[in-house]
Amino acid sequence: MQKIKINDKEYSVEELNETAKAQIVNIQAVDAKIKSLSSEIAMLNAAKEYYTAVLMQNLPKEENDTVKYD
């Protein structure tokens, strides 16, 4: 028997109605998408840092120059 814990209370999934079961599936799908997108965001942030570093190396050198990239 599969159990799920919600707000510190344990429920038997088999005893839930179909709407509740569907919402559990929906939440699991959203959690998986969030995890996937979080990984993609981390990868994109790393790429942005690399591109910014390459840009900095290729700018004309002048004292007190800084690049602020938001």
Residue type, 18: E
pTM: 0.67
Per-residue tokens: 65: 């120059």
2-35 per-position pLDDT tens digit? 999 999 999 999 999 999 999 999 999 999 999 9
**4 has which bridge partners?**
11
Q: What is the DSSP string of 8-43?
A: TEEEEGGGS-HHHHHHHHHHHHHHHHHHHHHHHHHH
Per-residue tokens: 64: 């007190």
- Name the one residue in this structure whose structure tokens are 């344990």: 10
Type and span of the H or E element at 3: strand 3-6
